[in-house]
Amino acid sequence: MALFPRYALGMEWTDSLLKLVEMKRGFRRVRLMQYMVHPLFKEEMAQQSEVDREEWIQSVREALADRRFKTRNVHLALGNRHVVTAIWKIPEIDSNRMRRWIEKKVIPMWKLPFDDPYFDYQPIGHVWQEGDQQEVMVAAVSRSLVEERVDRIRCCGLEPVSIDLSALSLQRWLDYSDDSLLDHMATLQFFRNGVDVNLFHRGVFQGGRFVPFEMVRFMKNDNLTDMNSMSPMLADPEQIQDYGETLLEVLGKEGPEWMNLELWKKSRVWVLTGEGIDLKQLMMWLQSKETPPVRMATEAKNLMSEKLSLKTSRWLGTTLSVPLGAALTGVQSR
């Protein structure tokens, strides 16, 4: 086992794609050595659907068969589609007692969409006066979902060593790749079945939500052959406009009121990333509307060798932002 790991794998598992990257820590910089974007079965596009486990594993094994990785250790990122986050105010207590306090006091009163929660927490801010309460970000996910995903990944020959929030992986990638660190950032990560919205204030994660929002609604025909390719489902200007108009309506209504108010503050900067849509067109369309400033996340090509870059689809864009941030967990200097 390496004391100072030079290679790391980062993975993001969405309803439609399995994304995997291998990064290497060099003397001066981190490099992207290889990546995989593997389409999953169409049945997984539907919420709450089940795909035969053995077929899924066989499909991913075949995709990995010709690849040679320098490590099997993979850092997995999970998004708001499966993870619930909230900020709770709790008494000022030490870290040893905090987990037990959350387990006994917070979890039972938290209305979670699953009954087998696995949780983690992170204190945020400071306690200025003795006796004050402290704010703690708590993230919860279904234990059975985590166990199922870990089991499938192991069956494909990889070893999960950490689980991260996609929001934090994305933030890590943006911090690493963009020198212009934003104090009031909102990330909008696009998927074929929805949008992950996350808020940050001076580097601290404030909260996030998943907004169900099917791109297929805006396709002009029933031909879904591009669902299994890197090509965007939505690239026509008319599709972009229709999607954008509905997106702005949804972002103003869905979710907690405080998040909607924070998202639309002019001091916010919206950072776009994801898959399924021509994000450059969407960014330019949003910039023509009355929204906070909009920009794109950094693309993965900046870390590629010339050889890898030449083989890369022009539509890769920001698709790998989250797995890149997850892999940085294993290769960044500590």
Confidence check: pLDDT of 49 > 70: no
The β-bridge relationship of strands 269-274 and 204-212 is unpaired
User: Is 179-297 a domain of CATH 3.40.50.11290?
Assistant: no
183 pLDDT band (50/70/90 cuts)? confident
Q: Is residue 42 exposed (0-12), middle (13-18) or buried (19+ Cβ within 10 Å)?
A: middle
225 pLDDT band (50/70/90 cuts)? very low
**Where in the chain are all domains bearing CATH 3.30.420.40?**
1-83+142-178+300-333, 179-297
Residue 21 near residue 37, CB atoms below 8 Å: no
User: Is 84-141 a domain of CATH 3.30.1490?
Assistant: yes
52 pLDDT band (50/70/90 cuts)? confident
Distance CA 297, CA 67 (A): 28
* Sheet of strand 17-25: strand arrangement: 30-39, 17-25, 7-13, 73-78, 159-165
Which CATH fold would you assign to the domain 1-83+142-178+300-333?
Nucleotidyltransferase; domain 5 (3.30.420)
119 pLDDT band (50/70/90 cuts)? very high
Residue 211 near residue 190, CB atoms below 8 Å: no
Q: What is the pTM of this model?
A: 0.90
Distance CA 143, CA 116 (A): 6
| Token couple for 130 | 């003795």
